[in-house]
Amino acid sequence: MSELLCMKPGRIGPMELRNRIVFPPMITNMCELDGRVTDRFIAYHEARARGGVGLICTGGAYISLPGKSMANQLGIHSDDMIPGLRRLADAVHRQGAKISVQLFHGGRQTMPALNGGYETEAPSRVKCAWSDDYTRELSRDEIRELVLLHGQAARRAREAGFDCIDVHGAHGYLINQFLSCYMNKRTDEYGGSLENRMRFLREVVREVRSQVGDDMAINFRVCGIEGTEGGTTPEEACAIARAMVGEGVNAVNVSAGNYEALHLMIPPAAMPYGWNLERARMVREAVNGAIPVIAAGRIKTVDVAEKALSEGCADFVAMGRALIADPELPNKAKEGRADAVRPCIGCNEGCVGRLAVMQQPVTCTVNPAAGRELEIRPAEKKLEVVVVGAGPVGMTAALYAVRRGHRVTVFEKEDKPGGQLNLADKPPFKSELGDYAAWQARALNASGVSLLCSRNMTAHDIEAIRPDVVLLATGALPLVPPLPGVNDVRHYMAQDILSDAETWKKKLSRRIVVIGGGLIGCETAELLTDAGHKVTVIEMRDDMAPDAEMMSRGMMMQRFAEKGVTCMPKTRVTGMENGALRVEGPEGEKILGAVDDIVIAVGSKPCNPLEEPLKKRGIRVIVIGDAVNPGKILAGNESAFQAVCSL
């Protein structure tokens, strides 16, 4: 087998890297409130270095308190940060990787509640990204001070033993705000022409170089496309990259998007793999081999990485969420075990939802150990563990239990594992859930876990095995609302539709109402719309799919508008009569006529028939996932991880 291109050594300035895979900068929210490094933060990065990545870039480290944008963000604003940063660099170096720190100032994309009460500052007086407030325009003296602060931060990184500095000119943060007409309205030497808008960036890069010397690499991150009117265009990105070559930058990292175009910045499952490679190719052609180009944007598999390199789009590949999902991706690729890589599913729930929406540390739906590397240790005593249910949560529990050294048997009542994943992968843009289910089954087989399907276990059956502990992952059942007259209309459960989608798409009549506009209801509605049905979705809450990840939801609502799906939020079904639905909404009560079929998707209830019978037999039981609280895979897998760590 020929060597993978992504496994070949590469050079960025003075840095020799063992391969072409980069773990790009992503804020983790794992540090102390004052910005100091924590053991958790170090363990998170060390795991990815141990996994074989060539270069690790820390998420944005704020250079000053006004620039801070997350409560537990990494800081590099004070010499007090140096000892912790040195521990981080040493940990990464011990595993054979190089390490870079990204210098960060949020500009308009922060707010006083996050930066300690400082007024939001930016190149121009524009609307803040997080609120309806407006920023304060920076003076020339303040701009000069920010240039010096970048240099001081770079000096701290050098003293801490880092190999590289990342200058952040993308994603709508401060330097990008100077570069972008969307955010830069200045009329002095820092605004107007592209050359003027690049002035701050040039000054920052020169100051950083003066502090770190020529034997330390400087990388620059640019938006290949910003995605907003007046934002950075691909042509401007190429011009900026050429200018950075002249300033002695050692590599350019091509990303995309800002807070108004988050779907480009952190592309969800509805975006194609490697969607940004064409912008990276343009930049690579623009710099004409003078410096290497790092491509970013849903490079989630080894195959996509190889495509980026073999087709000349980039010299290195940034694989962020892929390495959160599986830190061992590079090692597995090198060993020819790409099918053993735990796949990122593009859900953005643990990596973005937890961070941006909930201000919590980063984790991962498919890898709940991400950010909790210190919690998973070998068991002091090996136990006989029985897991009932081979859905995603049950299989996650089994995999972590065997990793800790326990003996594990999994029972599944259906004829194959996967549980709800076997339904959830049917709607548009959800096929990666099927990839995840397939990976879990392969991982179980490789781990030595005993998986027994078509086994509908009773408490008596389990008692006969004499387990030390039973993990119940028996899932949930769909709720059936008490709707008057429901039996007078043809009605089906969304789960029935998804269980045999191809048959049902042909069987159902043209005009369909979906009762329940949560995630399952909306995904089922889109599936049926794509099959040619005319679909109306009714939801009691204020918005459709309010629990969906924000980027995926935004793209879904746009597709609904394009496809003609009728959405009725703030509306409830009050009854059915003579084949029609009676609903009550913002405009009062009315009758929906011309309805052929109804699909019900109003949530689920726990299915947990074994807990009490097992407890009466004196067997230790832990209920996990939907069997205790129906919800997303993220929450279910976290409950499985926590249960296994408690054994």
Contact 641, 367 (CB under 8 A): no
Q: What digits encode the pLDDT tens for the residues 176-226?
A: 999 999 999 999 999 999 999 999 999 999 999 999 999 999 999 999 999
For 5-373, which CATH superfamily applies?
A: Aldolase class I (3.20.20.70)
Judged by phi (left if over 0) then psi (alpha if -120 to 50, else beta), residue 475 lies in: left
Q: What is the pLDDT of residue 580?
A: 81
More confident residue, 491 or 634: 634
Pick from 261, 255, 262: nearest CA to 237? 255
Evaluate if residue 490 carries a pLDDT over 90.
Answer: no
Model confidence over 255-280: pLDDT tens digits? 999 999 999 999 999 999 999 999 99
Question: Is it the case that residue 113 has pLDDT exceeding 90?
Answer: no
Assign 601 a pLDDT band (cuts: 50, 70, 90): very high
Active-site positions read: 173
Please name the residue ranges forming H helices in 411-490: 421-424, 431-447, 459-465
Residue 21, strand partner residues? 317
Please report the pLDDT score of residue 487 as a whole number: 76
CATH number of 481-602: 3.50.50.60
Nearest partner of 560 among 576, 589, 539, 574, judged by Cα: 539
| The two three-digit tokens of residue 27, written as one number | 């804020």
Domain 377-477+605-645 and domain 481-602, same fold? Reply is no
Joined together, the tokens standing for residue 250 give: 């050692």
pLDDT tens digits for range 505-528? 788 888 999 999 999 999 999 999
**C-alpha pair distances (Å), 554 with each of 166, 351, 385, 482, 535:** 31, 18, 42, 31, 19
* Strand locations in 343-388 (E): 384-388
Beta strands in 351-504 (DSSP E): 384-388, 407-411, 450-452, 469-472, 476-478, 491-493
Q: Model pTM?
A: 0.96
Amino acid at 257: G
CA 226, CA 182: separation in Å to the nearest integer?
9
| Domain residue ranges in the chain | 5-373, 377-477+605-645, 481-602
Can you tell me the distance from the alpha carbon of 641 to that of 645, in angstroms, rounded to the nearest whole number?
6
DSSP states along 238-291: HHHHHHHHHTT--EEEEE---GGGHHHHS--TTSPTTTTHHHHHHHHHHHTTSS
Residue 240 — very low, low, confident or very high, per pLDDT cuts 50/70/90? very high
Quick: pLDDT tens for 61-75. 999 999 999 999 999
The pLDDT score that the predictor gives to residue 594 is: 73
Percent of the chain with pLDDT over 70: 100
* pLDDT digits 0-9 by tens, 325-338: 999 999 999 999 99
Token pair 């061992």: residue: 328
Look up residue 4 and give its DSSP letter: P
Mean pLDDT, rounded, for 526-544: 96
Per-residue pLDDT of 314-360, as tens digits, reads 999 999 999 999 999 999 999 999 999 999 999 999 999 888 777 89
Average pLDDT over residues 521-538: 96
Mean pLDDT of 624-647: 98
CATH fold for domain 377-477+605-645: Rossmann fold (3.40.50)
Residue type present at position 82: I
Please classify residue 231 by burial: count the beta carbons closer than 10 Å to its beta carbon, then call 0-12 exposed, 13-18 middle and 19+ buried: buried
What percent of the chain has a predicted confidence (pLDDT) above 90?
90
Closest CA to 207 of 162, 253, 145, 121: 145
Q: Is the pLDDT of residue 1 over 90?
A: no
Q: What phi, psi does 537 have (nearest 5°)?
A: -115, 130
Closest residue by Cα to residue 66 from 104, 118, 113, 30: 118
- Region 359-386: what's the mean pLDDT? 96
